[in-house]
Amino acid sequence: MVKFSVRMRCASTLMLILFASAEGPTTLRSAGDRAHLLIGAAVRPSLFTEAPYSATLAREFNMIEAEDAMKWSVVRRERGFDFREGDEVVRFARAHGMKVRGHCLVWDHDNPQWLTEGRFTPAKLSELLHEHIAIVMKHYAGEVFAWDVVNEALNEKGDAKDSIWYNAPGIGMSGKGTAYVEQAFRWAHEAEPHALLFYNEAEGEGLNVKSDAVYRMVKGFKQRGVPIDGVGLQMHITPEFDTNAFAANIDRLTMLRLQVHITELDVSLPLGPDGMATGADLKLQADVYSSVLKACLEHSGCTAFQTWGLTDKWSWIGSHSHGTRGAGLFFDPSYKPKPAYDAVLSALRAVPQRVN
């Protein structure tokens, strides 16, 4: 009798285990691991002390990226180098077995005043940028596996955007289009030959003048042997986003044997006077999230799916839209998973094994 009940208990435990594994992974992280897809979030190290923030991050994501902590505005707040905030990101990732994406080495935004108002000559700026890329990449060598080397270099016409690095005054290649972008990639490769090097762009995710220009630029890079490994598609989008055009863009980029990372996804919704999105919009949002994920999963070269934050409590969208839009992420302000979370989890679970 005793023996029987023990065996029965063993059998029911076994049944439970079988049931659990038949149901598949229960977090984005475990489902992402199984589908060989990096599931990332942009993070603010100042929030690591908020218990649900850290717990949700560690449970749901296998990759993180510093939202601001590795930008010039933080690392070079003063003229020297200050790696404290970026190092916190790396420590968190190490403690939880996650990968780290680096963001970003060259951008016309989020630069310190001493740099933007320093009236440097092109020769001096070139020296400053070369040194910055070398020192930051060497500091994070072996920790940061992929870098956004250059962020948002093009305007909506597809031309090199006016910027401190291009032509105002630039690093000495003013008027030569994306030659300065190419130079930055060469310096990056020289500094850390093992890191994957990405060009990251906004509003060039579908098919338009800007994404055509990105395509032409990176195709030229590949043909000329400029060291580039991938393109980051930011994806600050709305439910009206055209996912077919997006899939076509991933298609042509991955055909160049470049990786694609979805780097800054959020699907912002209009907010009512109560600061809330409607249930209908949350459902539309869930559909867009799962279509974006499916477009990525269809291409083995699309290797990372990252959101710009994790909870609507801490998202840049609110300040960026002056409070008119928000609710763009997986978790609500109390860290409750939203329909978008469920949709992405079930789309990931539907992929038993991904062939790479």
Please, are residues 193 and 162 in contact by the beta-carbon 8 Å criterion?
A: no
Q: Which is nearer to ligand XIL, 174 or 321 (CB)?
A: 321
Whether 156 sits among the annotated catalytic residues: the reply is no
Minimum CB separation of residue 208 from ligand XIL in Å reads: 17
Active site annotation includes 264: yes
* Contact flag: residue 289 with ligand XIL (CB under 6 A): no
The binder of ligand XIL chosen from 27, 62, 183, 234 (CB under 6 A):
234
Which residue, 229 or 264, has its beta carbon nearer to ligand XIL?
Answer: 264
Q: How far apart are CB 236 and ligand XIL at their closest, in Å? A: 6
Considering the complex, what minimum distance in angstroms separates the CB of residue 232 from ligand XIL? 9
* Alpha helical stretches, state H, the chain: 2-23, 28-34, 51-60, 72-75, 84-95, 113-116, 122-139, 179-191, 209-224, 243-255, 279-297, 317-320, 339-349
Q: Per rule CB under 6 A, is residue 67 in the interface with ligand XIL?
A: yes
d(CA 229, CA 143): 17
Give the residue with the Cβ less far from ligand XIL, 137 or 345: 137
Burial class for 38, CB neighbours closer than 10 Å (0-12, 13-18, 19+): buried
Site map 247..266 versus ligand XIL, x via CB under 6 A? -----------------x--
- In the bound complex, what is the minimum distance in angstroms from residue 324's beta carbon to ligand XIL? 17
Q: Cα(69)–Cα(76) distance, rounded to whole angstroms? A: 10
Residues between 73 and 112 with contacts to ligand XIL, criterion CB under 6 A? 110
Is 311 a binder of ligand XIL (CB under 6 A)?
no
Within 133-172, which residues bind ligand XIL (CB under 6 A)?
151
Positive or negative: CA dihedral 152, 356, 101, 182: negative
Backbone φ, ψ for residue 328 (5° rounding): -90, -5
Q: Sign of torsion, CA 321 77 177 253?
A: negative
**What residue ranges bind ligand XIL (CB under 6 A)?**
67-68, 110, 151, 202, 234, 264, 316
Residues serving a catalytic function are 152, 264
